[in-house]
Amino acid sequence: MKIGVYGGTFSPIHAGHIKAAKSFLTEMALDKLYVIPTCLPPHKDEIEGADAEDRLEMCRLAFEGEEKISVSDIEIARKGKSYTVDTLRALRDEGELYLLCGSDMFLTLESWREADEIFKLAGIVLGRRESDTAMGEELKKHKAHLVNDCGARVFEIEFDAIELSSSEIRERIRLLRPIKDELSPSVRDYIYENGLYRDGDMPLLSNVRERVRTMMGKRRFLHTLGVEREINFLAGIYCPEKREKLRFAALLHDITKEYDTARQLELCGTYGIEVDERLRISPKLFHAQTGAYFAKTLFGDAVDKEVFGAVRYHTLGRAGMNLSEMLLYLADYIDDTRRFDDCVELRKYFYDGLSKAKDQKDRYVCLLKTLILSFDMTVSSLENEGAPVDTDTLEAREYIRKELEKYTG
């Protein structure tokens, strides 16, 4: 049996790690690959942002369904500082061992605890990336030294590595910047659901987030966090001064979404919301109105007129939509947890347009065009289903069209 060993902190495990593992498995024709999150690296006193159990679970999620890849808790269960030589000793009876090393690790192998024993226990596999070209001569000399002077068995594999760093991803999560293909969806959802890498968050938002978590199921909560991330990014482009306020609105926008019709009608009675024919035909429309009023009840003056309006009109839109209402409407439509074809298409349309924008006027025009397309999609979908189209949506589309004409003629 050819057994691969791939260790690291994996905080968090990302697409680059996954691609490296699969390349290692294929290029070395391994029978089995162990991915081993370290408990604590010898050169560190702590690992930033996630404890050992969280990192272990993220690795398990990342490689779920991979028959030849097994995530091992051997170093975490051992506790304390993790030394590769101890891990290799524990695995040596399973077969012929091969240890994957990146270029930086490869150049420091001799300094590792009992390096001579490591060379006896495992073949060393240098994983080279295109970006390693500049240090090619140094790697070549060091390989010769390890083979000739240290008795190491050294193999090389090359793979088109994804240039990512876990520290960069942690920073993007902390700042609520969009995460796309850098993390597998299951790992990304785990991070957001468990609030990892979110140090320094505002106390109000942290408190609201935990309150909202108790008011909805896991899937709805992950969508809510996705809308918060999306609107954080949008606010940074269009109105940075309102970023925290809009994140607050995003967290509140679906707080009554999962209430049944009886509970929605009860809230309508409490808040004096008129239950017209459109609500009776489409009960899912209740939540935008009941949610806005209920949020006001829960959080008082923190839910000001702007936050209230953003929550109130995030589903249908309205004539005279202000910027906050536009942004929450769009964030709800295109957040990265949505997999519907229209949502994926609209997200691509918006970001493609945004990438071509030269100034703030272009960015606003891009927003307006995207909103018009979203209303068109909604109307088309409802008409195809034979369902009525709400007048608020039609009026919102017409209003946005007129707004667009002001900027484009």
What is the pLDDT at residue 200? 56
- CA 350 to chain centroid, in Å, comes to 19
What is the pLDDT at residue 132? 61
**CA distances (Å), 87 to each of 5, 51, 155, 186, in order?**
9, 20, 20, 28
pLDDT digits (tens, 9 = 90+) for 318-377: 999 999 999 999 999 999 888 889 999 999 999 999 999 999 999 999 999 999 999 999
Does the pLDDT value for residue 5 go beyond 90? yes
Tally of CB atoms within 10 A around 342: 17
Amino acid identity of residue 360, one-letter, is Q
Percent of the chain with pLDDT over 70: 94
Q: 172: pLDDT confidence band, cut at 50, 70 and 90? A: confident
Whose tokens are 């091969």? That residue is: 98
34: which residues sit within 8 A by CB, 6+ positions away?
3, 4, 5, 6, 70, 71, 72, 74, 91
> How many angstroms separate the CA atoms of 88 and 147, rounded?
19
**CA distances (Å), 85 to each of 82, 98, 149, in order?**
9, 12, 19
Q: 195: pLDDT confidence band, cut at 50, 70 and 90? A: confident
**CA distances (Å), 90 to each of 72, 74, 93, in order?**
12, 9, 8
**CA distances (Å), 143 to each of 112, 147, 151, in order?**
16, 6, 11
Q: What is the mean pLDDT of residues 155-183?
A: 81
What is the pLDDT at residue 285? 78
Q: 388: pLDDT confidence band, cut at 50, 70 and 90? A: confident
Does the pLDDT value for residue 191 go beyond 60? yes
Q: What is the mean pLDDT of residues 121-145?
A: 82
143: DSSP letter? H
Worst-scoring range by mean pLDDT, 52-56, 168-172, 245-249?
A: 168-172
Domain ranges of the chain: 2-163, 201-408
Q: What is the mean pLDDT of residues 46-75?
A: 92
Q: Long-range contacts of range 290-296, CB-CB < 8 Å, 24 or more positions apart?
A: 290/256, 290/259, 290/264, 291/252, 291/253, 291/254, 291/255, 291/256, 291/257, 292/252, 293/267, 294/255, 294/256, 294/267, 295/252, 295/255
Alpha-helical (H) ranges within 79-162 are 84-91, 103-108, 115-121, 136-150
Average pLDDT, rounded, for the chain: 90
What is the pLDDT at residue 406? 92
CATH number for the domain running over 2-163: 3.40.50.620
Does the pLDDT value for residue 44 go beyond 90? no
Does the pLDDT value for residue 213 go beyond 80? yes
What is the pLDDT at residue 176? 74
pLDDT digits (tens, 9 = 90+) for 255-269: 999 998 889 889 989
21: which residues sit within 8 A by CB, 6+ positions away?
6, 33, 35, 63, 69, 100
Check if the beta carbon of residue 329 is closer than 8 Å to that of residue 321: yes
> How many angstroms separate the CA atoms of 206 and 10, rounded?
25
Fold annotation for 201-408: Hypothetical protein af1432 (1.10.3210)
Specify the pTM.
Answer: 0.69
Instruction: Locate 16 and state its tokens.
Output: 């680059």
Does the pLDDT value for residue 395 go beyond 90? yes
Compute the Cα dihedral for 33, 35, 39, 44 and give only its sign. Answer: positive
pLDDT digits (tens, 9 = 90+) for 308-318: 999 999 999 99
Between 139 and 306, the more confident residue is 306
Percent of the chain with pLDDT over 90: 66
